[in-house]
Amino acid sequence: MSNTNTPTPHIGARMGDIAETVIMAGDPLRVKFMAERYLENPVCFNEVRGMLGYTGTYKGKRVSMMGHGMGMPSIGLYTYELFHFYGVKTIIRVGSAGACTKDLHVGDIVIAQGACTDSNYGDQYELGGVFAPIGDFGLLRSAADCCEKMGFPYKVGNVLSSDVFYRENPRTERWMAMGVLAVEMEVAALYFNAARSGNRALGILTISDHILTGEATTSEQRQKTFTNMMEVALSLV
């Protein structure tokens, strides 16, 4: 894309300000924490609507980090602009999720092989059927290998990307019966956008609460202590 497409309505960066690999999180303060903790010489490229973005280097490799907000409309918007207007080739989401299987515990990592959804986000493609949004296998395999090497507890499988946080009539048990590991709100839209643009994406999630046991974490813990998934994401750069 030419430089005339940037800055976009939602990202204040110029072409070249953003690396080809972007690690994203819903919370812009988590992004700020990651950039300050891991990046060498981070430069802020975006503050539009408070959705912070930084570019720096990690072990000599150029990488960007940016917030994507909550929900599929929000991550769908930001990742569309990154893929289509900034030349981004790989987006890795690091986020939180609620476990819906007894085999997971707070702090465990889920690598999203696929993302089921109750959203109508995919209707825009007019496919006439059900598209299965999946992560990039190369990224997934490398992320799993990193978890094994580092000794991080993890599982690979389906997640549910839901449009609704406070659902009137929860149907969690139906998704559980289909083997869904955890619930979050963004990965499906990320995978749709990656597929449509011919790029790579992966969702790496930390269990922040447990639907079955009631275990939970604080917002500060979610912002600053889920470093295992951040290190897995950085290993993919």
From 17, 27, 108, 209, active-site residue: 209
> What are the residues whose beta carbons fall under 8 Å from the beta carbon of 192, sequence distance 6 or more?
76, 121, 122, 125, 131, 133
- Give the angle 94-221-110 at the CA atoms, nearest 5°: 35
- Helix/strand/coil for 170: coil
CA 36 to the chain's CA centroid: 19
**Does the annotation mark 163 as catalytic?**
no
Cα(234)–Cα(92) distance, rounded to whole angstroms? 9
| DSSP-derived secondary structure letter, 10 | S
Using an 8 Å Cβ cutoff, are 92 and 162 in contact? no
CA-based nearest residue to 135, from 64, 186, 81, 72: 186
Cite the active site residues. Answer: 209
